[in-house]
Amino acid sequence: MGIIFDETNKVFLLNTKNTTYGIAVTDGMYLNHLYYGRKLEDTNIRYLLRENEPPFIPSVNQREKNSFLDMAPMEYPETGMGDYRESAFCVRSEGGHRASELAYQSYQIVGGKPELEGLPATWGGEEDCTTLKLFCRDETLGMEVQLLYTVFEEEDAITRSVIVKNAGNSSIYLEKVLSTCLDMDDRNFEVIGLFGSWGRERHIQRMPVGYGRQNIASFKGESGHQEHPFMALVTPETNQDIGEVYAMNFVYSGNFIAQVEKNQFDSVRMLMGIHPEGFTWKLEPEEVFTAPEVVMIYSDEGLGKMTRSFHDLYRNHLIRSSYLHKKRPILINNWEATYFKFDEKKLLDIAEEASKLGIEMLVMDDGWFGHRENDDSSLGDWFVNEEKLKGGLNKLVEDVKKTGMSFGIWVEPEMISPDSELYKKHPDWALQIPGREITQSRAQYVLDLSRDEVVDAVYEMIANVLKSADIRYVKWDMNRQLTTIGSFQWPADRQGELYHRYVLGVYKMQERLTKDFPYILLENCSSGGARFDPGMLFYSPQIWCSDDTDAIERLAIQEGTALIYPVSTMGAHVSVCPNHIIGRVTPFETRGNIALLGTFGYELDITKLTEEEKEAVKVQVQNYHKYNDLIREGDYYRLASYAENGCYDSWMIVDKNKKRALVFYVQVLARANAKSKYMRLKGLDPKQYYQIDGKRYLGSTLMNAGISVSAEMGDFRSKLIPVEAI
């Protein structure tokens, strides 16, 4: 069993294959963090609490409880009783007081993992994982709190979440319910996060941890382009292969905060959960609030081991789609080909030409509904514009199928246009504050998905479209952040629940979609990659990685994304040059090689390609079918980073049995008078012989000495290097 309790020492050990997480009960009531790191074989670790040092535990030094609370490593720190570091939990009583003291009551160890009601979360049976429930209570408020820990032994992962119940007689107001806290001594930690903006999402940034508080956060109503719900603390020597890593990733798609704090005692506190900005949740007697979960990974083999642990966990225990272990259809999306200017004839022209080259699906993007000829109208009017699509949607789909291709469609269900028929009929369905102008973005408002009637009505419109034709793919977009947060449904003391209730409404809609249409491949999107998070992956096996399809910009975007998420989740397409966003020109071959790392498809007008480019498409399609099983299921290793060296980029995928690998190499900038580079491969069997370009090498030689990669003339050149066991 992955979890044990030492009754004598009052110590819980949560063990994965290679790691241990330790918790102690102190003074019969406090839950203190003991240890997180390499696997331990012994529960005799209470000495790590320094209980024999001042200020001692409260039962020994009754006059210094305040000092104890402010320096002890707390498993779930609270507001108001004496811990002045950032808290994980804050509750306000009906009398207006902000304080709580959760006393440990009991525990339960169960096989498997309970669901989190209404929330995406990792899952597993008794053979996969074990869950520890720690039951705590605040007697003054009559409040009960469960701290949940699930141990995935094979993946070296631990998940945490919190359930709060008002078991008292009066209402209480939750003002902060973070999902996890990790207190430990500083070791000159550095913090790694993912940052960016629209068109350049998830760039890796690393910086020292100093005194005070450093956070990564979003309160835009989405996880966001700018900052990502991920944080890792690393020891200074950490790279891809060595060093210690403490990583957290939030399984949630709304406002979040990830924070590290270093205090005067040189200890650090790492926190993650729903951002408290704008958050209040009223709990009436007997009501329950469930916090989303955080995934924690510890690695003592650098960032590479962390990455592969996240990838394995998410492939095995988060993504549910039947497409997860299948080749996704190679699709062509008409957005950059036509934008809003298309009709059924243009779409069929694209489908007929694409089918000849081996492309398998046509996706009709924005502009097919209402009277939408640009992006300032018709959102909410989810009925087909038959003036644009003569004969209707079903006829178009059937005509596309005759070319040998399947059909997909774009929707944006969370938004509403001011000129739409839906808004004219239900102006109160938009998020708004009475007396204030609704802030527009992209000439659209946000639907109030905290209301079940809105969720039901919009879902039914979308479902009716999907039922009307043989649609096999849906791209679900969300193109703006939330503003003017107010709802006509909820009373004043529940308006602080709207951000979270909105996200729950999105989850309700996507849960219904995946159950009602299990054969549909769902791809999430949020103005590119603004909502690329584990919460979305619970519903869709892939997410549009970025609206920027430039191959060179994609190097940093895909490197940052693949740091956490399986490469099979990254929506990646080949587009035309000059690139529509930044104007760069890159070789067609390089665009294909870089898109091959993700789901692979095309974002262009294929009828305008040259014959040479069409032949290149055929080669890229062949490469996809040749390598996709390996790329989708294999282990990812980062060999070099263009973001770090400014010159070249390289990574490789190795299948689980180490019999086959594929190396990707991109020469971003050519150099004069340059020698070849020796690239040391990773993840191979050191005793196995491999073949590269007809030559035989021992695995240990390839990993220790490397392979030679010659310099080429010109910028933005790339190559694929197959490695086969012999």
Which residue numbers are catalytic?
477, 547
Crossing angle for the helix pair 551-562 and 588-595, to the nearest 10 degrees = 10
Q: 3-class secondary structure for 505-546?
A: HHHHHHHHHHHHCCCCEEEECECCECCCCHHHHCCCCEEECC
Largest CA distance in the chain: 84
CB neighbours of residue 685 within 10 Å? 16
Residues in the chain, how many? 726
- As beta bridge partners, residue 158 has 151, 296
Instruction: Quickly list DSSP for 373-415.
Output: SSTTS-TT--SB-TTTSTTHHHHHHHHHHHTT-EEEEEE-TTE
Q: Give the amino acid at 580.
A: H
Q: 3-class secondary structure for 695-721?
A: EEEEHHHHHHCCEEECCCCCCCEEEEE
Instruction: Quickly list DSSP for 645-679.
Output: HSSEEEEEEE-TTSSEEEEEEEE-S--TTPPPEEE
Residues ≥6 apart with Cβ < 8 Å to 341: none
Q: How far apart are CA 553 and CA 585, in angstroms?
A: 12
Torsion of Cα atoms, 477 then 483 then 488 then 489, to 10°: 60
Residue entry with tokens 């070791």? 187
* Element spanning 212, H or E: strand 212-218
Distances (CA, A) of 558 to 167, 336, 509, 561, 573: 47, 20, 28, 5, 12
